[in-house]
Amino acid sequence: MKSMITLTINGQRTALEVPPSRTLLELLKGDLHLTGAKLGCGIGECGTCTVIMNGRPVNACLVLAVEADGSDIRTIEGESDGEHMSDLQQAFIDFGAIQCGFCTPGMIMSARALLMRNRNPTRDEIVEAIAGNLCRCTGYKPIIEAIEAVARARNEGGYKTSEDAHAPYVGGAAKRIDGVEKVTGSATFVHDMVLPGMLHARIKISPCASARIVHIDTGKAAAMPGVKAVLAGKDLPYKVGLYLQDKNILARDHVRYQGEMVAAVAAETEEQARAACDAISIQYDVLDPVLDVEEAFASQSRLVHEELGKYSWLKGVFFPKPGTNIAHHQKIRKGDVNDGFARASLITQYEFNNPPVQHAPMETHTAIAQAKPGGMVEITTSAQSPFTVRNLFCHTFGTPHSKVRVRVPYVGGGFGGKAGIHLEPLVYCLSKAAGGRPVKLTCRREEEFNTLPSRQGLHSVVRTGVTKDGKITALDVRYLWDAGAYADYGVNIGRAAAYSGAGPYTIPNCSIDSYVVYTNKVFGTAYRGFGHLEVLWAIERNMDLVAKRLGMDPYDFRMNNLLRTGDTTITGEPFTENHGRPDKCLEIVAKEIGWERRWKQPATRNASGRKLRGVGLAMLHKAPAMPTFTSCSVVIKFNEDASVNVLVSGVDYGQGTYTAFAQIAADELKIPMEKVHIPWDCDTDYTPYDWQTVASRLTVMGGNAIIEAARECLNQIKQMASHALRISPDYLVCENSRVHVKGQPSKGLDYKQLALGYTYPDGNSIGGPVIGHGRCIAHGLTHLHPETGQGLPALDWTYGAHAAEIEVDAETGFIEVLRIVSAFDAGKVINTQQCRSQVIGGVVQGLGSALSEKFIFDKNGCFLNATFKDYKIPTAKDIPQEMRPIFVETPYPAGPHGARGIAEHPMISVPSVIGNAFADATGIEMFEFPLDPETVYMALNYSGSTASVAGNKYVTLETPHCGRQGEP
């Protein structure tokens, strides 16, 4: 029964009729087309839908539209006229308080509500006000700073923006070029999009971890009102997969994890689609799931994929073992480990674990697809690469690439979870089955956790041989990746983590076996620094443990073994002076945290003896993990007024690459940055090829391509100018949007006179519109030798180090991170503000892994914590008191201006540094993260016990060698 309601929205009275179930959020987005507020969880946990109702901030997903009758509502759209930013909007831009932009409208509304009720909020009040707004990108600190600046400026005539007009573009702090769209809520995400005639899809997921599908009855669902298409696995005889085609679009015959998609419906409304999903009846023959990775690794009878031998995969790179659960085995062999152990004076062995976790981007996966007449396909998706989606799509369906158009607009965070291909094939099949109407599928937050892929779990066994004076002679490691039900990115993670799997150290004799093992769990995929956070948990905890056994300062032990010029890596790559300075990074963070002083003092307890303080160190490294032939391309088009459009297909889903691109383009073309426009949508029909936006490779490869494209533009400009000015192009220079004769600035032409070709005073014209293209391909990379892993897998390595000081509340197990200092050899910092934001955001995301995030399964493999209620990511209250990013700049000669990738690295080794600091504080060695309060409490109080259904295991080292001073 519908009711008539009247509301005042952003000062305008609106009357409309609504059904009683509609939420205020649905009303705003669906009926009133105010798309600034976002749907992030649907249960009031994330705050992305925050609007101000009668002066108070509320989650619009938890308010019924009928409840809002008579209310005054203020949304992000009322924050400014779109031309003149409000104080908060401007400050968010100025302070780099935006990355993907999905949380930004809700965040600004919470901040606005605070400023409405409190003229002079303290920092604590600011944090309290925004703690209900989750942000996965920024680490909150820049947001808090932005709000603080506005609050402070209120008593001084209001917030004023400022800009350093003299700062260079490259190496300066240019503001984000997508700032205005994101702070006004006008940036359109796939979540916000509605196409004419669009149907809505819902999925039905498996309730059990392993089962045979006996029967599916979709008859009742198909007959329900509004239903246009119902699909089950039997309708879709296609295999999908990134490197190994092992997955069905919908489960066929078997389900292999709880949460797997089994059937799907497209209907006129989402409610109808959902009701029809409920009406699909499925009969399962439930099987005993394979959940333990060790058991899965050893078993040849209980197989997750009986048909593994029949699948197709990328030969020569991946090595699945049919008849087992091993999807890939990566070997690294360098030197002779037996010999290395024979020369060791101490041999240690430790085991480490980490659980699967989720990326939790604020925008869940969502895609719109339409099967058009003539075999054309149009896909609009929240993905990290339009071209990879297209390529894998065409591979699955045998469609010509030219007939498939994939478009990626603003993306609300990805972190690797939106790399590859996910919902797109299913949504396309639904559209086809529905007669070609566009279909949209947006994952609910529960599905994002339960159905979409995760970061896989890892079990590591690390055996180390060292000499008395602290030189590593041998390292023998076995990594067992708990890949879950499908290979997806997992096989490549197993590969990349193997060639990075000894850490940034020189290891003369090394043997690594990295096994990617199928289990009946939600499958794994890339997650920020994929594989590296996991293996560096093992390696960096191991470095501390071994140092203590030697009675050596872990700082000295690391310094003894770090890669230096003249060394070779474990894949035989020579380490040169151009590789960067891991030693410098370590030196800096140790100095900043006061390591020397700390290490020589016993752990300091606070007065009551309940709070234990400790410091830790950890190293990190990563290179882009990508095919040897990875490439990208860029087009720069001059416009009539000599502004330029830079066309790229690498996706900026928050990391700030496009801003760096604009800086590089402006710098190279000698034009103001405001003249550089980068259209946000990537579109396989219009923007040039780029492989994928993953692996921290985009600034490096795309930046190079932009420089090449810009130079081509300048060549064209100079060619035309040389005719017009009757001088060889060699005598021409470009500056200030102008080309002129060297030494004679007045003898020249404005770019504007040449942008579309040059026209002589008599009307003759030459040249043509200026358009340049640039390309970049990974040079010199090789496949790794199948038996030894030797080869050149990596374009550029980025090294870094963290140091942290923590305080452990021994009575509750709660860890507070007091300080974390992080240093990276970035080669060249293109944008100081964006790099700082990447570090702070990455560190906080790493702290989520370190301190609270984990998947919890029951004994049947059912996923228990698929919401933000029970999967806790850091809030604004959970950030360290102090985070300090520091950059070392050893140029990478093949990078743009010497730059290396930096996006993933800040997250890597954050759990390791916390684990090391924890051991320093408590004398207890942890071998598994997260170090959540209960885990810590149990480790402190119940040595050897098992705590909760999470099944964490605690191991307390019983040898006297584990004391904090490490006396052997």
CA–CA distances in Å: residue 398 to residues 242, 404, 854 = 15, 11, 38
Backbone torsions φ then ψ of 226, nearest 5 degrees: 80, -10
CB of 466 to other proteins, least distance (A): 38
CA distance 517 to 504: 26
Kindly write down the DSSP assignment for every residue of 409-449, as one continuous string. Answer: -B-S--TTTTSS-SSHHHHHHHHHHTTT--EEEE--HHHHH
CA of 463: how far to CAs of 39, 338, 543, in Å?
47, 12, 11
Do residues 339 and 333 make contact, with C-beta atoms less than 8 angstroms apart? no
Q: Is 145 in the site for other proteins (CB under 8 A)?
A: no
Q: Which of 10, 16, 30, 69 binds other proteins (CB under 8 A)?
A: 69
H or E stretch covering 12 = strand 12-18
The pair phi, psi for residue 557, each rounded to 5°, is -60, -40
Q: What is the SS3 assignment for 653?
A: coil
* Neighbour-count burial of 609, counting CB atoms closer than 10 A to its CB (0-12 exposed, 13-18 middle, 19+ buried): exposed
Told to check if 92 binds other proteins by CB under 8 A, we report no
CB of 450 to other proteins, least distance (A): 13
Instruction: State which residue, 80 or 852, has the beta carbon closest to other proteins.
Output: 852
Q: CB-wise, 69 or 351, nearer to other proteins?
A: 69
Collapsing DSSP states into helix, strand and coil, what is residue 487? coil
Which range, of 42-50, 200-208, 296-304, 357-365, touches other proteins by CB under 8 A? 42-50
DSSP label at 189?
Answer: B
Give the pair of three-digit tokens for residue 522.
């939600």
Which residues in the 862-881 window bind other proteins by CB under 8 A?
Answer: 864-865, 869-870, 872, 874-878, 881
Binding of other proteins at residue 4 (CB under 8 A)?
Answer: no
Q: Which of 3, 269, 604, 765 binds other proteins (CB under 8 A)?
A: 3
Report the residue number, 366 or 473, with the smaller CB distance to other proteins: 366
For residue 342, give every residue at least 6 positions away whose Cβ sits within 8 Å of its Cβ, in sequence order, or none.
none
Q: C-beta of 937: minimal distance to other proteins in Å?
A: 6
Residue 954 neighbours by CB under 8 Å, 6+ apart: 926, 927, 928, 935, 938, 939, 942, 943, 944, 945, 946, 947
61 binds other proteins (CB under 8 A): yes
Our CB check for other proteins shows the closer of 79 and 825 to be: 79
Provide the minimum distance between the beta carbon of 878 and other proteins in the complex, in angstroms, as a whole number.
Answer: 5
Binding to other proteins (CB under 8 A) within 809-828 occurs at 809, 811-812, 814, 816
- To other proteins, the closest distance from the beta carbon of 914 in angstroms equals 14
Sign of CA dihedral 484, 487, 488, 491: positive
Report d(CA 460, CA 353) in Å as an integer: 6
* Interactions with other proteins, residue window 828-857 (CB under 8 A): 851-852, 856
1 binding other proteins? (CB under 8 A): yes
What is the pattern of x (binds other proteins, CB under 8 A) and - over residues 257-286?
Answer: --------------x---------------
Q: Which pair of tokens denotes residue 241?
A: 């997969």
50 scored as a contact of other proteins (CB under 8 A) = yes
Tell me the closest approach of the beta carbon of residue 446 to other proteins, in angstroms.
9
Smallest Cα–Cα separation from 625: which of 800, 798, 414?
798
CB of 643 to other proteins, least distance (A): 42
CB 60 within 8 A of CB 49: yes
Q: How many residues touch other proteins (CB under 8 A)?
A: 60
Angle subtended at Cα 69 by Cα 64 and Cα 71, rounded to the nearest 5 degrees: 105
Which tokens belong to 701? 């490869």
* Shortest distance, position 932 Cβ to other proteins, whole Å: 6
What's the closest the beta carbon of residue 357 comes to other proteins, in angstroms?
A: 14
For other proteins, which is the closer residue by CB, 847 or 913? 847
Distance CA 857, CA 822 (A): 34
Which stretch in 38-46, 257-265, 409-417, 508-516 sits in contact with other proteins by CB under 8 A?
Answer: 38-46
- Beta-sheet strands, E only, within 193-260: 199-205, 211-217, 227-232, 239-240, 247-248, 254-255
- Nearest approach in angstroms of CB 876 to other proteins is 7
Secondary structure class of 680 (helix, strand, coil):
coil
Give CA angle at 39 (38, 40), nearest 5°. Answer: 105
Query: Is residue 636 within 8 Å of residue 710, measured between CB atoms?
Result: yes
Q: Does 59 bind other proteins (CB under 8 A)?
A: yes
- Is the Cβ of residue 21 or residue 338 nearer to other proteins in the bound state? 21
Nearest to 622 by CA among 474, 496, 484: 496
Within 601-697, residue ranges assigned H as helices are 657-669
Q: Tokens for 780?
A: 């010199």
Q: Which residue of 45, 363, 482, 690 would you call a contact of other proteins, by CB under 8 A?
A: 45
Which residues 788-807 are close enough to bind other proteins by CB under 8 A? 807
- Footprint of other proteins on 111-140 (CB under 8 A): 128-129, 131-133
Q: How far is the CB of 850 from other proteins (least distance, A)?
A: 12
Strand partners, 954: none
Site string for other proteins, 7-26 (x = CB under 8 A): -------------xxxx---
519 binds other proteins (CB under 8 A): no
Dist. CA 447–CA 262, nearest whole Å: 13
* 3-state SS, residue 296: helix
- As measured in angstroms, the least distance from the Cβ of 934 to other proteins is 5
Encoded one letter per residue, x for contact with other proteins by CB under 8 A and - for no contact, window 211-250 reads: ----------------------------------------
Extract the tokens encoding 46: 């994330």
User: Is residue 930 reached through a cis peptide bond, with omega within 30 degrees of 0 on the bond before it?
Assistant: yes
CB of 270 to other proteins, least distance (A): 10
Nearer to other proteins, 878 or 920 (CB): 878
30 contacts other proteins (rule: CB under 8 A): no
What is the token pair recorded at 457?
A: 């779990």
Residue 336 touching other proteins (CB under 8 A): no
3-class DSSP assignment, residue 547: helix
Residues 920-959 that bind other proteins (CB under 8 A): 932-934, 937-938, 941-942, 947-949
Backbone φ and ψ of 889, nearest 5°: -125, 85
Q: Which is nearer to other proteins, 874 or 896 (CB)?
A: 874
Residue 53 Cβ, how far from other proteins at the closest point, in Å? 8
Given 47, 361, 409, 616, the residue binding other proteins (CB under 8 A): 47
Smallest gap, in angstroms, from Cβ of residue 947 to other proteins? 5
Sign of CA dihedral 950, 526, 407, 169: positive
Q: Closest distance between other proteins and the C-beta of residue 825, in Å?
A: 32
- Considering the complex, state which of residue 59 and residue 454 has its C-beta at the smaller distance from other proteins: 59
Site membership for other proteins, residue 62 (CB under 8 A): yes
Pick from 16, 43, 173, 603 the residue near other proteins by CB under 8 A. Answer: 43
Find out whether 784 and 499 touch, Cβ atoms under 8 Å.
yes
Crossing angle for the helix pair 104-117 and 87-94, nearest 10 degrees? 130
Q: What is the nearest approach in angstroms of other proteins to the Cβ of residue 286?
A: 22
Choices 50-58, 411-419, 678-686, 720-728; region in contact with other proteins by CB under 8 A: 50-58
Closest distance to other proteins from the beta carbon of 796 (Å): 36
Residues of the shown chain interacting with other proteins in the complex, contacts defined by CB under 8 A? 1, 3, 20-23, 42-45, 47, 50, 56-59, 61-64, 66-67, 69, 110, 128-129, 131-133, 271, 807, 809, 811-812, 814, 816, 851-852, 856, 864-865, 869-870, 872, 874-878, 881, 932-934, 937-938, 941-942, 947-949
